[in-house]
Structure 1
Amino acid sequence: MQEELEIMRPQLEDAAQETVITMQKIEKDTVVAEATRASVQAEEAKATEKARKAQEIADDAQKDLDEALPALDAALASLKSLNKNDVTEVRALQRPPLGVKLVIEAVCIMKGIKPKKVAGEKPGTRIDDYWEPGRGLLQDPGKFLEGLFKFDKDNIPDAVIKAIQPHIDNEEFQPAAIARVSKACTSICQWVRAMHKYHFVARGVEPKRQALQEAQEDLAETQKILDEAKARLSEVEEGIATLQAKYRDCVSKKEELEQKCDQCEQRLSRADKLITGLSDEKQRWQDTVLNLENLLVNVTGDLLLCAGFLAYLGPFTGQYRTALFEQWTKKLRELKVPCTQEPSLLGTLGDPVKIRSWQ
């Protein structure tokens, strides 16, 4: 047990030292984790605020677009109601009304179709005529309508808008006025006016779109920083969890070693007490052994005396028995027969425990 205790004590010291080192590491990493957590919370607050601002910009831009989209949606819905025959009917006109001519001029301007120069009313003058080029545009009704649906409304040149402005301002270029002369041209008129309105709304929204893009890019960068901080925090927390598990193992090992050491020390203490107690009994045992050895050596003479006592001395008085017993003892010594120094009948044949019970 002493050797076992000497082996365990260094192990206990190592376990205690490892426990202290692990706890110090946990405390250090906890400080780092708290700092990282504070950084994450700060970045989350930034990201939340930037996301809110980006959403405000997006909502503001969408609000402006919503002013133009209903008219655009209505124009596109009106175009969907047209069929190829409606377009063919317009192309077949030999003497188109003014409203029809205005619509064809407008759609040619929007699509960048060059006019044809024709003689004007005054001699020697030439004017722009969009009817013939416009009829060519209407030659394939399906392709024409598809071109209107797929028109790049977000990139209309300012020159086109400037050229179409007189038509927009013309009272004759109103859907209600055009409806009196042509169903197809009414839908096309709505489309032109919707594109014109959308252009100005989109131009007003463009700075907001740019601001939104910048805000979203800034938000993405902040989110990236936030994700990196969260990853660092997760790594640190995992490390702390590992250290805490190690700390618990160290404490458990330390407590187990302490318990074993305590048990060994208690056993050693009890063993010392037992050894001390046994050492006190040693002399008594030695005396007992010596006494037993003497009894064994003297047993012949002692039993001879006792046998003679029982066989011959019973009828005599006590005093006479004692005198004869002493003479026999003296004679045995003369004959060198071993016997006890002061033999007695009770000492040789009696049971000390039973004799004590008589008292």
Structure 2
Amino acid sequence: MGSVQDNVASACTTYYDRFRRQAHVTPKSYLCFLDGYKTLYKEKHLGIAEMAKRMTTGLDKLVEAAASVDVLKKELEVKEQEIKVATANAEEVLAAVAESAAAAEVVKAGVLEVKERAVQLVSVIAAETAIAEEKLADAKPALEAAEAALLTINAADIATVRKLGKPPFLITLIMDCVILLFRKKIESVKPDPEKNFLIASWGESLKVMADSKFLNNLKFYPKDEINAEMVDLLQPYFNFSQYTFEAAKVACGNVAGLISWTIAMAQFYSVNKDVLPLKANLAVMQGKYQAAKKELDAAEAQLEAKERELAHVQAQFDEAMSLKQAVLDDAAKCQSKMDAATALINGLSGERIRWTEQSALFKSEIERLVGDILLLVGFLSYSGPFNQEFRNLLLSTWLNELLKRKIPVSMNLNITESLTDTATIGDWNLCGLPTDDLSIQNGIIVTKAARFPLLIDPQIQGKNWIKNMEKANDLIVTTLNHKYFRNHVEDCVSLGRPMLIEDVQEELDPALDNILEKNYIKIGSSYKVRLGDKEVDVTAGHRIYITTKLPNPAYTPEISARTSIIDFTVTMQGLEDQLLGRVILTEKAELESERTQLITDVTSNRRRLKELEANLLHKLTTIQGSLVEDVSLIQVLNITKSTATEVKEKLDTAKETELKINAAREEFRPVATRGSVLYFLVCNMSLVCNMYQTSLAQFLERFDISMDRSTPSPITSRRINFIIDYLVALH
């Protein structure tokens, strides 16, 4: 590996002699190269080993699935015979179910007939009850008033009345009415000339009041037992002029409630005498209803017995049907497994061939990893400051050295394909990175190198690309002389944010030394770094980008050791592609918009295809047990495979569309070519005299003016000539 460092040191001298551009290598560069070699070797080796394991497991699963399909075919034949037997049993039980159901229907019809009679009786009873209640409602106010009056009487009031030696005459009359209602013995009727009425039966009244349940008997008096004779006997009392509630209230206080009660009982009888026949009829109807209900209960019991019999037969039928359905489900499941597995095996036939071929190459790929990693890490560590010619020269030298020492290495190793993928490159192009090989390599070094990048970027195309690429990651943009520069650096390191230090000169702030060299201090499970006079927490994911506008800066070996210096100076091919995009954007804007959208779609589809293929292999290799046992997983694999096929078709269609768009764009290629040549020609004029100075921004402005002011023409060839002539004349 030491010869790699020696080769680069020799190339630095040659590069300076030819192009007067300085590049340095130091022992620290070599140590960084060794660390990068170990890291990348471990990463690639683990990746290949994991992929080999997955492919081997996936192939084993496919072979196992193919064998399982044959077993499922035999199981399906057995299931078909079981289905025939289960169907015959179910049909036999179904006949018994039909017979029991017919018998139950006959009994059910009888039950409905009896039930209908009972319902009719209930309707008649309800109607007559309503009539009786309506008539009784007329007496309800008087009864409620009587009950309310009774509530005003208590036992003490009755006891007071009993103790009276000579009770008021009205009290004796009220108690005569009470004992008449209670059907007690009353003394012979004798006139009382003094009172102009009858002599009261006070002795019997005292006996009635002596009963401790007297008040309770009043409350629960059997009103239906009142007859016409009793009411006739009460009439003389009611007709007596002093027999009123007001007079009773004066004569006997709370006991006056008894007079309201006696009057209410008589009024109730006048209503109840019409209701009593209805009640008698209701009693008869209730008897008929009870008989009908008894008959209904017997019929329902018979129906219940028939339904139990039917339920028993139905349960037998359900059991037979469930057995049949279980056999059908097993057969369907078996068929589904077989179909899904067959479809998967057929769908993965192409992958099976590719995986088989790839598995055979893994061993040799791991053997060649020793030399391949040396080329890749050497490219990332040393090739940044050089142009395309010297990068190719270094790779060629290292390859020859490996072959000379008989170290296994891939003869056709593609640096770009080994370190990134087309989807990522597509994202870079959408963010403004030129599409030429040198710019793509620069993008790889910026994102993959172990050291933070320092971009020699006089045309600021690299800076614009970084700004677009890191826009979504909350990029910090600063300069060395910014008043908050230290704060920006601290935010970058402690919060894990990307930071762009733009327009530096040939020296860097010493405060950056520890961060650029990654001299982190481990404290427990976290890291800190010294920034000036303070220690700052280190958060994973922070990135630092440094750019300079100097076309040929002379950086010290120390800066070369701390950073990955990358020459981002525009190339003739890169500028030609940029100019072609500007021409198309002006002359055929819809074509450039379509191309940009196409690149976006292709990039997205490529990334999706890669994810789908990785997901397919991962799911296939992580199945526990037999592949055919998990139908849902097979369906997921089939969906993933079909989706991957659709994405491939979209990529094929996009490729054809890209060819058509590129063919249309190529018509204006002469303008871009002439513009690129003209720019570098003007730049080289500074070698003749220092007064010939230009910038890419100035040139692009003049290029746009030449398209805007040149003579328009519907004929493409003439329009191209007009633009070129105006551009040349403008310079």
Describe the shift of the 1:136–1:232 C-alpha distance in structure 2 as closer, same or farther (beyond 3 A).
closer
Query: 218, 228, 237: which one pairs with 2:298?
Result: 228
Q: Which amino acid aligns with 2:141?
A: P
Q: What is the rounded CA distance, in whole Å, between the counterparts of 2:314 and 2:201 in structure 1?
A: 86
Q: What is the rounded CA distance, in whole Å, between the counterparts of 2:190 and 2:288 in structure 1?
A: 60
Q: What is the rounded CA distance, in whole Å, between the counterparts of 2:139 and 2:110 in structure 1?
A: 44
1:72 equivalent in alignment to 2:157: no
Describe the shift of the 1:128–1:231 C-alpha distance in structure 2 as closer, same or farther (beyond 3 A).
same
Relative to its length, the structure with more helix (as a share) is: 1
Describe the shift of the 1:229–1:118 C-alpha distance in structure 2 as closer, same or farther (beyond 3 A).
closer
Corresponding position of 2:152:
81
Describe the shift of the 1:35–1:120 C-alpha distance in structure 2 as closer, same or farther (beyond 3 A).
closer
Describe the shift of the 1:225–1:189 C-alpha distance in structure 2 as closer, same or farther (beyond 3 A).
same
Relative to the length of structure 2, the TM-score reads 0.29
Identify the range of structure 1 (111-120 vs 46-55) with the bigger mean alpha-carbon deviation: 111-120
Describe the shift of the 1:218–1:196 C-alpha distance in structure 2 as closer, same or farther (beyond 3 A).
same
1:237 equivalent in alignment to 2:307: yes
Q: What is the rounded CA distance, in whole Å, between the counterparts of 1:147 and 1:245 in structure 2?
A: 62
Q: Which amino acid aligns with 2:222?
A: D
- Unmatched 5+ residue regions in structure 2? 1-84, 326-731
- Unmatched 5+ residue regions in structure 1? 1-13, 256-359
Q: Which amino acid aligns with 2:248?
A: I
Corresponding position of 2:234:
164
Deviation of 1:130 after TM superposition, in Å, equals 1.8
Query: 128, 131, 151: which one pairs with 2:221?
Result: 151
Corresponding position of 1:268:
none
Residues 77-133 of structure 1: CA deviation (Å, up to 9, x unaligned): 2122123443345445566555334313222322334344597568xxxx9622532
Describe the shift of the 1:26–1:190 C-alpha distance in structure 2 as closer, same or farther (beyond 3 A).
same
Corresponding position of 2:120:
49
Whether the 8 Å contact between 1:84 and 1:141 is mirrored in structure 2 is: no
Q: Which amino acid aligns with 1:210?
A: A
Q: Which amino acid aligns with 1:70?
A: P
Corresponding position of 1:104:
175
Query: 114, 120, 125: which one pairs with 2:185?
Result: 114
Residues 197-256 of structure 1: CA deviation (Å, up to 9, x unaligned): 22333332222222222222322322333333333223223323333444567789999x
Corresponding position of 1:140:
210
1:40 equivalent in alignment to 2:111: yes
Corresponding position of 2:97:
26
Describe the shift of the 1:183–1:39 C-alpha distance in structure 2 as closer, same or farther (beyond 3 A).
same
1:203 equivalent in alignment to 2:253: no
Whether the 8 Å contact between 1:137 and 1:144 is mirrored in structure 2 is: no
Q: What is the rounded CA distance, in whole Å, between the counterparts of 1:248 and 1:117 in structure 2?
A: 87
Describe the shift of the 1:47–1:131 C-alpha distance in structure 2 as closer, same or farther (beyond 3 A).
closer
Q: What is the rounded CA distance, in whole Å, between the counterparts of 2:275 and 2:238 in structure 1?
A: 21
Deviation of 1:191 after TM superposition, in Å, equals 1.1
Describe the shift of the 1:120–1:203 C-alpha distance in structure 2 as closer, same or farther (beyond 3 A).
closer
Secondary structure, aligned partner of 1:182: helix
Describe the shift of the 1:66–1:15 C-alpha distance in structure 2 as closer, same or farther (beyond 3 A).
same
Query: 253, 258, 263: which one pairs with 1:193?
Result: 263
Whether the 8 Å contact between 1:72 and 1:198 is mirrored in structure 2 is: yes
The percentage of counterpart residues that share the same residue type is 24
Secondary structure, aligned partner of 2:251: coil
Q: What is the rounded CA distance, in whole Å, between the counterparts of 2:279 and 2:86 in structure 1?
A: 64
Whether the 8 Å contact between 2:179 and 2:208 is mirrored in structure 1 is: no
Deviation of 1:33 after TM superposition, in Å, equals 1.9
Q: What is the rounded CA distance, in whole Å, between the counterparts of 1:129 and 1:158 in structure 2?
A: 23
Describe the shift of the 1:236–1:115 C-alpha distance in structure 2 as closer, same or farther (beyond 3 A).
closer
Describe the shift of the 1:35–1:87 C-alpha distance in structure 2 as closer, same or farther (beyond 3 A).
same
Describe the shift of the 1:89–1:131 C-alpha distance in structure 2 as closer, same or farther (beyond 3 A).
farther
Query: 185, 206, 216: which one pairs with 2:286?
Result: 216
Q: What is the rounded CA distance, in whole Å, between the counterparts of 2:134 and 2:171 in structure 1?
A: 34
Q: Which amino acid aligns with 1:47?
A: A
Deviation of 1:137 after TM superposition, in Å, equals 3.4
Whether the 8 Å contact between 2:86 and 2:323 is mirrored in structure 1 is: yes
Whether the 8 Å contact between 2:153 and 2:255 is mirrored in structure 1 is: no
Larger RCO of the pair (alpha carbons < 8 Å, separation 6+) = 1
Query: 119, 127, 133: which one pairs with 1:62?
Result: 133
Corresponding position of 2:451:
none
Q: What is the rounded CA distance, in whole Å, between the counterparts of 1:248 and 1:78 in structure 2?
A: 70
Q: Which amino acid aligns with 2:151?
A: K
Once superposed, what is the RMSD of the aligned Cα atoms?
4.0
Residues 139-198 of structure 1: CA deviation (Å, up to 9, x unaligned): 638554344334333323443222112223444323234334332442111111122222
Q: What is the rounded CA distance, in whole Å, between the counterparts of 2:254 and 2:131 in structure 1?
A: 35
